[in-house]
Structure 1
Amino acid sequence: MEKSEAIAYTMTGGSGLHSYSKNSNFQMKSIGAAKELINKSIAEKLDVNIFSSSNTLRLADLGCAAGPNTFAAVQNIIDALEIKCRSEGKISQPPEFQVFFNDQASNDFNQLFTTLPPERRYFASGVPGSFYGRLFPRASLHFVHASHSLQMLSTVPKEVTDRKSPAWNKGRIHYSNSTNEVVKAYEAQYAKDMENFLKARAEEIVQGGLLAFVIPGRPSGAPHSEAFGNRTAELLGSCLIDMVDKGKISSENVDSFNLPAYYASPQDVEAVVKRNGYFSIETIEHLPQQMPRSKEFASALRAGMGGTLKKQFGEEILDEFFDLLYKKFEENLSFIFESGKAISLFVLLKRIVTE
């Protein structure tokens, strides 16, 4: 079995003030926006014959975090699958559902499983590990879903933290508005990660099965610097520089820190899928995105990044850092959202039948 060298970039667990479970409404909105596309995808693209012989339908949510968003996404999928099965009339009895919740081993699975919906209509299992490698037996899954997780790279490109490399990203924490060498390093890491992701899923998904994911991205032809995610990264970086100027952290510590995130365009997705060769592209659509409130967005970022910043810079800077970020969002969020090409991409792939 292949193993991934992925870094552990996990959400803040538990149910406390800064936890992901209390601060993920921004991501939940994308799940709601994708619901009709999930319904349409299953109604029009899924052949129930791929599982009718066993009458058990297995699906996975990759990058599930600690809830509650994953439960909403899974329920949307199961509702659509049940409607599909009834409409086909080919299955003698309702299918049983087995759901695999996946995230890094450091994810708070205790929080996840203690908050499972009590009236759920599926059997639940946890699968720890990076989705950039194999997680499941061959041809065992019928539907795979991921939301707001595939923008995270398996690792920061090595070149950007190497002082001897032309891609050394001194004074910045991301590829946005950086040198061409830094941008190319991030593009190459994204391509490598997605190739590994699709290779693993091609092994795990049955022929004719579906893979659906939602990612924050950028429109076709838009420069990296205009993507909403990248403009957000620039504000994060400016807050760290302010902390350097205040003597709270060192410039060397900032120079060695880069965000492992990439915001893909439809062309990026198309290119890697075509290279893989095991999936057909059924849909790539823009999802409507509402501008978040400054406090909501700053809290969501703390839930997602707090652990990483704590590891790099120490816990004592977190309150001041995120207060500073919130103030900058208050001043700039409307501008960076409206001018920053704020989109999410809904992508539906179908495992090609080769036999």
Structure 2
Amino acid sequence: MMNSLVPEFQVFFNDHTTNDFNMLFKSLPQNRPYYAVGVPGSFYGRIFPNASIHVVHSSFSLHWLSRVPKQVVDRNSPAWNKGRIQYSNSTDEVVRAYEAQFAEDMECFLHARAQEIVHGGLMVIIIPGRPNGSSHSDSVANATLLLLGSCLVDMAKEGVLLEEKVDSFNLPMYYMSPQELEAAVEQNGFFSIERLEYLPRVPVDDTVSEQLASHLRAALEGLIKQQFGEEILDELFDRYRKKVEEQLSILEIESGKPTHFLAALKRKAN
């Protein structure tokens, strides 16, 4: 009916230009009650017109940084991250470089969304992170990435990979705490936090090694293939799966503590 009280919805799907939007569109239900649009580009910059969006939802995305901190791949920098692929269990200089990149990126993200969201609009975010008060090295997510890095180091020692390739490979990922999100929102000043809560942890079962290997491969395959070539992927993730099986205790680092959290932010009227 032309005078229906049910509003029409338009949903904008955002992703990097290198990702396959055609696959996304093919997976959408044909009888969907909304109009779908793909918007390519990094969400660390502007992607929508001023005051044009009412609700933003970001799920399992904000742990990706806009880039690897430049210092960690500079051989002449005190923050050169030789022999590691991320910041946990690394030097203070490396940790500070990642923390600085996270702070810069979050300010860009919040500033861009503040311009795009209407006053009173909402932003709902699901974030893989770490509990307040925990160290970076105690994070389950970082612990699993350390295992992946150790597999690459092993392969370099065995001559399967070049050591220089491993030394120059770092992941643009950072796992924030709720307190860090609160600090970023306060500094930005355009949003109020309406809700902030941990999400329940998924129980670990006998298939966890396969699940982790499949999940990590889906997330990182593109970056790894670009750095090392496609031919190492099967061997790398088979090694990773076996290491997870041997060291299942890493998944109990924060036993009983949730590591994912949900935040609902409201755009202020200022």
Tell me what 1:85 maps to: none
Indicate if the aligned counterparts of 2:199 and 2:258 stay in contact, CA closer than 8 A. Answer: no
Q: Post-superposition, which runs of at least 4 consecutive aligned residues in structure 1 deviate over 6 A?
A: none
Q: Which amino acid aligns with 1:146?
A: S
Pairwise CA distance, 1:237? 0.6
Of residues 308, 321, 330, the one that matches 2:245 is 330
Tell me what 1:151 maps to: 63
- What are the Cα deviations for residues 69-128 of structure 1, in whole angstroms up to 9, with x where unaligned? xxxxxxxxxxxxxxxxxxxxxx97011110000000011111111111112100000000
Distance in 2 (CA, whole Å) between partners of 1:350 and 1:337 is 34
Of residues 88, 91, 102, the one that matches 1:190 is 102
Indicate if the aligned counterparts of 2:55 and 2:123 stay in contact, CA closer than 8 A. Answer: yes
Higher mean displacement: 115-124 or 337-346? 337-346
Of residues 16, 20, 23, the one that matches 1:111 is 23
Distance in 2 (CA, whole Å) between partners of 1:93 and 1:278 is 31
Indicate if the aligned counterparts of 2:198 and 2:261 stay in contact, CA closer than 8 A. Answer: yes
1:180 aligns with 2:96: no
Cα 1:240–1:309 shift into 2, 3 Å: same
Paired residues in the alignment total 263
Tell me what 2:230 maps to: 315
1:249 aligns with 2:164: no
Tell me what 2:39 maps to: 127
Indicate if the aligned counterparts of 1:229 and 1:342 stay in contact, CA closer than 8 A. Answer: no
Q: Which amino acid aligns with 2:261?
A: L
SS in structure 1 at match of 2:247: helix
Q: Which amino acid aligns with 1:204?
A: E
Equivalence map 1:28-43=2 (5 Å) = none
List alignment gaps of at least 5 residues for structure 2. Answer: none
Indicate if the aligned counterparts of 1:153 and 1:262 stay in contact, CA closer than 8 A. Answer: yes
Indicate if the aligned counterparts of 1:215 and 1:346 stay in contact, CA closer than 8 A. Answer: yes
TM-score, structure 1 length as denominator? 0.72
SS in structure 1 at match of 2:236: helix
Tell me what 1:68 maps to: none
Q: Which amino acid aligns with 2:155?
A: M
Tell me what 1:351 maps to: 267
Q: Percent of aligned pairs with the same residue?
A: 60
TM-score, structure 2 length as denominator? 0.95
Indicate if the aligned counterparts of 1:167 and 1:185 stay in contact, CA closer than 8 A. Answer: yes
Distance in 1 (CA, whole Å) between partners of 2:96 and 2:26 is 43
- What are the Cα deviations for residues 181-236 of structure 1, in whole angstroms up to 9, with x where unaligned? 10000000000000000000000000000001111111111011001111011101
Cα 1:168–1:303 shift into 2, 3 Å: same
Tell me what 2:218 maps to: 303
Of residues 333, 339, 343, the one that matches 2:253 is 339
Distance in 1 (CA, whole Å) between partners of 2:5 and 2:195 is 30
Indicate if the aligned counterparts of 2:130 and 2:175 stay in contact, CA closer than 8 A. Answer: yes
Indicate if the aligned counterparts of 1:138 and 1:203 stay in contact, CA closer than 8 A. Answer: yes
Equivalence map 1:276-295=2 (5 Å) = 276-291=188-203, 293-295=208-210
SS in structure 2 at match of 1:96: coil
RMSD of aligned Cα (Å): 1.3
Q: Which amino acid aligns with 2:240?
A: L
Distance in 2 (CA, whole Å) between partners of 1:136 and 1:208 is 17
List alignment gaps of at least 5 residues for structure 1. Answer: 1-90
Indicate if the aligned counterparts of 2:64 and 2:174 stay in contact, CA closer than 8 A. Answer: yes
SS in structure 1 at match of 2:164: helix
Pairwise CA distance, 1:338? 1.6
Of residues 271, 282, 299, the one that matches 2:183 is 271
Indicate if the aligned counterparts of 1:213 and 1:346 stay in contact, CA closer than 8 A. Answer: yes
- What are the Cα deviations for residues 2-54 of structure 1, in whole angstroms up to 9, with x where unaligned? xxxxxxxxxxxxxxxxxxxxxxxxxxxxxxxxxxxxxxxxxxxxxxxxxxxxx
Indicate if the aligned counterparts of 1:161 and 1:256 stay in contact, CA closer than 8 A. Answer: yes
Indicate if the aligned counterparts of 1:291 and 1:337 stay in contact, CA closer than 8 A. Answer: no
SS in structure 2 at match of 1:130: coil
Pairwise CA distance, 1:291? 4.0
